């Protein structure tokens, strides 16, 4: 069975190989920039599927454009940038976490893509299609059919196991993110409602919420430690983020309001006497 002239087994091996090469490139770059070993990768294994999927898209849609370099570059920029945006969006929706963020760069779109990275995608597409892929294609074409099928089966099994453990890990982390957000909002509501109550009641009512909030924050940090080590810019999606500083500030304002009301009541009582 073929897709646009490529066999499925060949495309899968290309996906695995280029996912590994993408992981190697990102690991080297991030390790140099951070002056420490940073083994990148969304999955546990040494692969970055966004690169493997990206190169498969290049092979399927860019190869016919090799004779028109201008059109090739434009299409590469648009398709690869759309691919990066889609992957980032899906990850944020499913895990409530941003794994990369270009918000600090000009001409970005919701931090998922930006202009200079889009232009780099076009250059990388040219390098891959014209220089890197031809020898790799020749190498895989020389593999015996039985060996190619065995490699596909082995890599598929490893990928399935890796993806299962990663999805389970992310599901737990996603659940914790939502739980922490809910507790944070509940704590803020408790503080807001406490403005009309006595100070002791405010402290007693919010104490258990603060403890639960702290426990869930610690558990979330435990689950996300690996991803924070791998992705230096990883952060909770804005929709699910609750600032601990905001909670403390709200509590402080509530206490000030309670003290002010107490003093006003004492003054009123003293004047009546």
Query: 202 and 194 in contact (C-beta within 8 Å)?
Result: yes
pLDDT tens, 88-97? 888 788 766 7
From residue 196, alpha-carbon distances to 166, 184, 249 in Å are 46, 20, 17
- Find tokens 């929709």 and name the residue: 239
Q: Which two tokens stand for residue 249?
A: 């500030």
Model confidence at 198, pLDDT cuts 50, 70, 90, reads: very low
From residue 56, alpha-carbon distances to 74, 209, 220, 228 in Å are 17, 49, 35, 28
Torsion over CA: 108, 82, 38, 101 (sign): positive
Q: Is the pLDDT of residue 65 over 80?
A: yes
Model confidence at 138, pLDDT cuts 50, 70, 90, reads: very high
Could you tell me which of 191, 206, 193, 209 has the C-alpha nearest to residue 246? 191
| pLDDT value of residue 190 | 56
Greater confidence, 161 or 260? 161
pTM of the model: 0.66
């Amino acid at each position: 069975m073929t897709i646009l002239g490529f066999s499925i087994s060949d495309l899968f091996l290309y996906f695995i190989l280029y996912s590994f090469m993408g992981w190697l490139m990102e690991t080297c770059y991030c390790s140099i920039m951070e002056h420490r070993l940073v083994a990148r990768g969304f999955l546990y294994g040494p692969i970055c599927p966004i690169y493997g999927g990206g190169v498969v898209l290049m092979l399927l849609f860019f190869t016919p454009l090799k004779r028109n370099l201008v059109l090739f570059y434009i299409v590469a920029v648009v398709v690869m940038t759309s691919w990066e945006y889609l992957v980032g969006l899906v990850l944020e929706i499913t895990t409530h976490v941003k794994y990369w963020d270009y918000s600090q760069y000009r001409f970005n779109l919701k931090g998922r893509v930006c202009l200079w990275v889009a232009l780099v995608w076009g250059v990388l597409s040219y390098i891959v299609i014209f220089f890197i892929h031809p020898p790799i294609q020749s190498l895989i074409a020389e593999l015996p059919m039985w060996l190619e099928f065995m490699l596909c089966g082995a890599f598929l099994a490893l990928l399935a196991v890796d993806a299962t453990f990663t999805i389970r890990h992310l599901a737990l982390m996603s659940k914790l993110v939502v739980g922490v957000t809910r507790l944070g909002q509940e704590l803020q509501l408790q503080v807001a409602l406490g403005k009309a109550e006595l100070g002791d009641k405010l402290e007693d009512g919010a104490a258990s919420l603060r403890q639960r909030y702290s426990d869930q924050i610690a558990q979330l940090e435990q689950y996300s430690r690996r991803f924070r080590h791998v992705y230096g810019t990883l952060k909770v999606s804005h929709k699910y983020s609750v600032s601990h500083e905001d909670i403390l500030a709200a509590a402080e304002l509530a206490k000030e309001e309670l003290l002010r009301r107490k003093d006003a009541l004492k003054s009123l009582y003293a004047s009546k006497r």
